[in-house]
Every structure is written in structure tokens, then in C-alpha cells.
């Protein structure tokens, strides 16, 4: 290996490694320490309480509820997002007029600030002036326009729908890039052997796309569990508990929203829970989904 390359290893790597160690890994490791303490973030009065925070999290009914809500987003939101994304992937594959335009439009929500999107959707669901209810009234469906979309029963699903709308764009583009790579020849060969369209989908398309889909699944799991910005901003003043995600719960525990609560130790413990859970799901997912990459 040439000398030039050897010389640059350290100076090129050093800044990134140094910053990463000091400002990322060290805080991450420190979070474990913080989670073992009771701390108001106020004065230096950190009180070591061992695993008590984790015990409390186990019994915390609000945490259970938030966890359930997050899992729901991952599962239901995931199914919806992936079905729709695959649908669009299929629809927009290959030569098609306006393909680039459609792709670009579908992806657009992903380049807009979550706050702006949250404002938009908050207005869409506004009971009196909102776009949804006004559309329903225009279509003569007045009774539907009386439904409280942001009320405690429905707000979870209303916001889930909005989140799906945002992410379908991302996953469609992702899958399309993968679909574009499947060699035409496979389909030729299959057709020669008399395979029908559906069979071709399930024996060629789906398996070869599987790599991308499974990677996408990992991405989605991480993304969905970490949802914060949209949910936090969507209802204006205070997110109702029905749309709390785990990160929201952590922030509320650490800082309060209007009423300062400041349980920083407990908040970090909950966040740590999240990390462990995500890591577990991702690891299991990777093992379960990678039935051997299909080489072609």
C-alpha cells in the first residue's frame, strides 16, 4: 500500500473520530449513568438511585400507553406505508410519461419542515374552517364533517394518516431505485416458461426487491419509533396524550411542556429503553429478514 495513503489515515480520520467520541459516544455512554440517577437538571443534586428509574418505567402506565401507541405506528403505519409505496413503485416503474414528475411530487413532503407540515395538517383537520370538513360539506357529507378528527378517539389515526402520507414518498423512491435494478432477462426467461403475471411478481419481483424492502423495514422501524417533530407540533399548544410518542414522553419528562417537570434521570431511562428496544428489533429484524441476499 502506498505511503501517501498511509500518511493520510490519521489526519483525515482524527477530526471526525474526535468529535464523534467526545460529543456523541461520550454523551451516549453518559446517558446510562444519568438514567441511574434522580436529577431535576437544576442544581448539582444528582441522587444515585440505581435501577429505580427502570423499575418505575416498567410500572409506568403512561409509558405503557405511549409504547403501545408507538408500536401501533410501527405496525399499522408500516403496513400502510409499505403497501402504498410498493403500489406506486409498481405503477410508476418503467417507461411512463411524466414518471419523473410523479416521483418528484410524491417525495415532496420529505423536503418540507415538519412544523410546516404539522401546521398544514392541523388546519386540514380544523373542525370549522379546515379543508377536510369543508370538502366533506361541499360533497354533501355533512354528518361526516361533524366527526371530531382531532378528538381523543380519532386523533391517533388522523395523525397516523398524515405521517403515512409523508413517508410514502420516501419509500416509493427507495423501492423504485431498487426495482430499476432488476434485470429484464429474468422476466424474459420466466415468460418463456409460461409464468403468469402474478406468479412473476411473487417469484421474481418480490424476492429481488426483498433486499431493499427489508432494509426499508429497518429504516421504518427506526424512523417510526423516533417520531417526534411532526407529532409534537401538530396540535399547536400541547400534544394530547393520544399522540404521544416515546421521544415526546422523554422530552415532556425532561422539560415539561408548560408545567416544568424536569425529571431528567427518569427521562433518560425511558430514552434508554427506547434505544434498547430499537436495537433489539433491528437486530432481530435483520436476522429474520436476511434469508441470504439474492445475488444476481
Q: How far is the CB of 241 from other proteins (least distance, A)?
A: 7
Give residues with Cβ within 8 angstroms of 136, minimum separation 6: 142, 144, 145
Q: Calculate the CA dihedral of residues 224, 230, 234, 240 and round it to 10 degrees.
A: 40
Query: From the CB of 48, what's the least distance to other proteins, in Å?
Result: 15
Per CB under 8 A, contacts with other proteins among 18-77 are 19-20, 23-28, 30-31, 34, 41-42, 56, 59, 61-62
Residue 91 found at the interface with other proteins (CB under 8 A): yes
Q: How far is the CB of 62 from other proteins (least distance, A)?
A: 7
Residues 142-201 that bind other proteins (CB under 8 A): 146-155, 165, 168, 170, 173-174, 177-189, 197-198, 200-201
Q: What is the DSSP letter of 241?
A: G
In the complex, what is the shortest distance from the CB of residue 7 to other proteins, in angstroms, rounded to a whole number?
5
User: Cα 173 to the chain's mean position, in Å?
Assistant: 16
Q: 104-128 burial string, b = 16+ CB within 10 Å, else e? A: eebbebeeeebeebbeebbebbeee
- For other proteins, which residue of 73, 163, 224, 250 counts as binding (CB under 8 A)? 250
Task: Write out the binding residues for other proteins, residues 217-246 only, by CB under 8 A.
Answer: 218-219, 222, 225-226, 228-229, 233, 235-238, 240-241, 246
- Residue 212 touching other proteins (CB under 8 A): yes
* From candidates 50, 95, 97, 292, binder to other proteins by CB under 8 A: 95
210 binds other proteins (CB under 8 A): no
202 burial class (0-12, 13-18, 19+ CB within 10 angstroms)?
A: exposed
Among 36, 67, 92, 163, binds other proteins (CB under 8 A): 92
- DSSP assigned state of 130: -
Contact in structure between 52 and 38 (CB atoms under 8 Å): yes
By CB under 8 A, the count of residues binding other proteins is 150
Residue with cell 393520544: 242
Interacting residue with other proteins among 51, 75, 79, 104 (CB under 8 A):
104
End-to-end CA distance of the chain: 31
- Quote the CA–CA distance of 181 and 192 in Å, as a whole number: 21
Shortest Å distance, C-beta 72 to other proteins: 18
The Cα 154–Cα 162 span in angstroms is 13
Q: How far is the CB of 76 from other proteins (least distance, A)?
A: 19
Task: Select the residue interacting with other proteins from 47, 64, 96, 291 (CB under 8 A).
Answer: 96
Between CA 274 and CA 181 the distance in angstroms is 35
Near other proteins in 263-282, by CB under 8 A: 264, 267-268, 271-272, 274-275, 278-279, 282
Amino acid at each position: 500500500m502506498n505511503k501517501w495513503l498511509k500518511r493520510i489515515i490519521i489526519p483525515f480520520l482524527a477530526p471526525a473520530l474526535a468529535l464523534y467520541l467526545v460529543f456523541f459516544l461520550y454523551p451516549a455512554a453518559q446517558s446510562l449513568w444519568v438514567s441511574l440517577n434522580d436529577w431535576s437538571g437544576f442544581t448539582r443534586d444528582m441522587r444515585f438511585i440505581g435501577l429505580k428509574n427502570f423499575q418505575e418505567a416498567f410500572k409506568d402506565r403512561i409509558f405503557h400507553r405511549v409504547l403501545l401507541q408507538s408500536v401501533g405506528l410501527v405496525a399499522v403505519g408500516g403496513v400502510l406505508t409499505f403497501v402504498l409505496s410498493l403500489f406506486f413503485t409498481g405503477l410508476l416503474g418503467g417507461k411512463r410519461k411524466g414518471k419523473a414528475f410523479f416521483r418528484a411530487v410524491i417525495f415532496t413532503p420529505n423536503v418540507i419542515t415538519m412544523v410546516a407540515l404539522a401546521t398544514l395538517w392541523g388546519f386540514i383537520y380544523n373542525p370549522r374552517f379546515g379543508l377536510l370538513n369543508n370538502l366533506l360539506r361541499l360533497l354533501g357529507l355533512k354528518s361526516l364533517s361533524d366527526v371530531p378528527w382531532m378528538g381523543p378517539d380519532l386523533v391517533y389515526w388522523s395523525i397516523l394518516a398524515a405521517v403515512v402520507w409523508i413517508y410514502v414518498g420516501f419509500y416509493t423512491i427507495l423501492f423504485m431505485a431498487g426495482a430499476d435494478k432488476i434485470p429484464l432477462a429474468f422476466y424474459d426467461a420466466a415468460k418463456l416458461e409460461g409464468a403468469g403475471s402474478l406468479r412473476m411478481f411473487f417469484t421474481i419481483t418480490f424476492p429481488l426487491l426483498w433486499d431493499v424492502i427489508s432494509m426499508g423495514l429497518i429504516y421504518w422501524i427506526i424512523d417510526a419509533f423516533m417520531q417526534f417533530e411532526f407529532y409534537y407540533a401538530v396540535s399547536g399548544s400541547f400534544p394530547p396524550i393520544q399522540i404521544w410518542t416515546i421521544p415526546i414522553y422523554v422530552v415532556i419528562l425532561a422539560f415539561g411542556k408548560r408545567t416544568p417537570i424536569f425529571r431528567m434521570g427518569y427521562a433518560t431511562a425511558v430514552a434508554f429503553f427506547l434505544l434498547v428496544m430499537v436495537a433489539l428489533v433491528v437486530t432481530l429484524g435483520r436476522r429474520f429478514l436476511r434469508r441470504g441476499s439474492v445475488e444476481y
